[in-house]
């Protein structure tokens, strides 16, 4: 997948995309990432990228010309068109479903706003979809673009070593994940649950499903009401939390 990111702060992307899974995905060619500095697409003496809002009001607005020039330069001569995403607090909320959809694309182009906003003619004249990552106020669209690239890249076949890893994600079956334990068996007085040491695969599966259901009911009841519970799920949820019986 090709990914182009337009930003006024290219330096912000250096750290996050040079580690771990995204770094490996770039190294082995699964993700071809290019970060573009919008300021390079200004042609005036002072390289101006923003200006005061028409009608007055606080803050600065990103000018349209550099954004158009950048998009035109990046897409010039290409036989296909990128899916164009504008990071915007007023956008469609990002979700795992949208991540899956974007992972199917050949080419994504992100525009990160900064300041109070972007001149509306960018959205009128270019086919951007506005995407938000949630209802909280950030200082710009750079972190949202990184979040989306991370969520999408790991869904590209071959990016995660283990193909089952993405399929078994939280949200993949609509429930939160069960708790994980590794050695030591006892740490500062805290024991690994007995059932996980038992080697009874069916009991372990039921215990994990039970834990997923309890966690989801506790922290994300909205998710629980969206999925079809099986009879086993109903039975597990009916168990009392103190229930230690696993036979």
Residues forming the active site: 89, 116, 154, 169
Assess 119 for contact with ligand 9D3 (CB under 6 A).
no
Q: What does the alpha-carbon distance between residue 87 and residue 117 come to, in Å, rounded to a whole number?
A: 10
Q: Cβ of residue 232: shortest distance to ligand 9D3, in angstroms?
A: 38
Per rule CB under 6 A, count of chain residues that contact ligand 9D3: 16
* 3-class secondary-structure state, position 88: strand
Tell me the residue nearest to ligand 9D3 as measured from the CB: 138
x/- site string to ligand 9D3, residues 55 to 94, per CB under 6 A?
--------------------------------xxx-----
Q: What does the alpha-carbon distance between residue 88 and residue 28 come to, in Å, rounded to a whole number?
A: 31
Question: Would you say 127 or 134 has its CB closer to ligand 9D3?
Answer: 134
Q: Cβ of residue 110: shortest distance to ligand 9D3, in angstroms?
A: 10
Q: Which residues pair with 128 in a beta bridge?
A: 84
Q: Which residues contact 146 (CB under 8 A, 6 or more apart)?
A: 12, 13, 16, 17
Exactly one of 144, 210, 216, 224 binds ligand 9D3 (CB under 6 A); that residue is 144
Question: Would you say 150 or 177 has its CB closer to ligand 9D3?
Answer: 150
Q: Alpha helix (H) ranges present in 115-200?
A: 121-125, 142-153, 163-167, 194-197
Q: Alpha helix (H) ranges present in 93-141?
A: 96-103, 121-125
- How many helices (H) and strands (E) would you count in the chain? 10, 10
Q: Which residues contact 203 (CB under 8 A, 6 or more apart)?
A: 195, 246, 247
Q: Cβ of residue 38: shortest distance to ligand 9D3, in angstroms?
A: 14
Question: Would you say 138 or 166 has its CB closer to ligand 9D3?
Answer: 138
The region of 3-11, 24-32, 44-52, 136-144 touching ligand 9D3 under the rule CB under 6 A is 136-144
Residues that bind ligand 9D3 (CB under 6 A): 87-89, 113, 116-117, 132-134, 136-141, 144
């Amino acid at each position: 997948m090709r990914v182009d990111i337009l930003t006024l702060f290219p330096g912000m992307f250096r750290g996050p995309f040079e580690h771990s899974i995204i770094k490996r995905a770039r190294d082995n060619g699964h993700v071809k990432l290019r970060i573009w500095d919008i300021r390079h697409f200004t042609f005036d003496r002072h390289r101006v990228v923003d200006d005061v809002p028409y009608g007055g009001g606080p803050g600065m607005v990103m000018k349209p010309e550099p954004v158009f020039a950048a998009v035109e330069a990046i897409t010039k001569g290409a036989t296909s068109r990128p899916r164009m995403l504008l990071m915007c607090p007023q956008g469609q909320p990002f979700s795992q479903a949208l991540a899956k959809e974007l992972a199917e694309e050949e080419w994504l182009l992100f525009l990160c706003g900064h300041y109070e906003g972007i001149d509306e003619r960018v959205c009128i004249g270019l086919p951007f979809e506005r995407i938000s990552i949630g209802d909280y106020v950030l200082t710009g669209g750079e972190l949202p673009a990184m979040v989306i690239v991370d969520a999408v890249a790991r869904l590209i076949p071959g990016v995660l070593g283990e193909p089952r890893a993405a399929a078994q994600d939280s949200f993949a079956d609509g429930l939160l994940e069960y708790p994980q334990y590794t050695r030591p068996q006892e740490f500062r007085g805290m024991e690994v649950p007995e059932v996980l040491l038992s080697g009874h695969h069916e009991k372990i599966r039921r215990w994990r499903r039970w834990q997923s259901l309890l966690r989801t009911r506790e922290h994300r009841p909205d998710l629980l009401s969206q999925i079809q519970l099986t009879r086993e799920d109903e039975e597990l949820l009916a168990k009392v939390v103190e229930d230690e019986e696993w036979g």
